[in-house]
Amino acid sequence: MKSADCDILVVPGYTSSGPDHWQSRWQERLSTARRVTQESWDHPEPEAWRDAVIAAVQAATRPAVLVAHSLGVIACVQAAPYLPKGSVAGAFLVALPDVERPDTPAPLRSFAPIPREPLAFPSVLVTSRTDPYTAYDRAGEFAAAWGAELVDAGESGHLNVESGHGPWPEGLMRFAGFLRAL
């Protein structure tokens, strides 16, 4: 699949993705990409975030490809059972936060539990061995439950601007390969 053949839905995480974040940069660069906006980036509500993903997929005019980061990954996985069959061509999921951990910040705890049902579309979960919000093995458990390919991003932190992943060209190359395989 080419990017022109799909609607790329960028699903940021908690507090959104700023202008230097790889998601914002990809959104600017990919002509069919648009951001899934949330009613509140700073006070996330699971049902509202899930419903925003569902609405964005329903509004797509071509098969949707989800590009989610952090809490956006959980919103996509929570939305998956409600999405019309065949409406999502695939999901590129990056830096899942384990909101089931006891040290999860209060605003994010309501996103637990994280669904463990298989996704009805191809997906990859890109995760780092040094992500402060999820242990690598734990991310692997979720990838296996969802039927997602686990992609080892090495020692890359949370794969955001703070960890040095502004443009993230390696991720864009991986995403291009994922699109070609759809």
pLDDT in tens, 131-141: 999 999 999 99
Rounded Cα–Cα distance for residues 100 and 111 (Å): 8
Contact 88, 121 (CB under 8 A): yes
Give the whole-number percent of the chain exceeding pLDDT 70.
100
Rounded Cα–Cα distance for residues 91 and 121 (Å): 7
In tens, the pLDDT along 94-117 reads 999 999 999 998 889 999 999 999
pTM strictly above 0.95? yes
